[in-house]
Amino acid sequence: MDVLVIEPNSEDDFKLIIDLAKKLGSKVSTLGKDDVEDLALYALIKKEKTGETVDRDIIMKKLES
């Protein structure tokens, strides 16, 4: 099943949405800012992963420039 992500405008809205979802019988999980950033980074890494390897010296040269 898909997941719905809602970013409320206030703490009151946040609580209201959680309460409503629970009343409707939905499972509710909350994520902190760090969790959201981790998920976004994971998605980007997964999307860009090629399976190819790159020589360490090439990476170090790119980082130095």
Domain ranges of the chain: 11-64
Q: Token pair of 63, please?
A: 């980082």
Q: Are 48 and 38 in contact (CB under 8 A)?
A: no
pLDDT of residue 3 exceeding 90: no
pLDDT for res 65: 83
Distance of CA 49 to the CA centre of its chain: 17
Amino acid 63: pLDDT? 94
For residue 45, the model assigns a pLDDT of 93
Q: Give 28-54 pLDDT, tens digit per residue.
A: 999 999 999 999 999 999 999 988 999
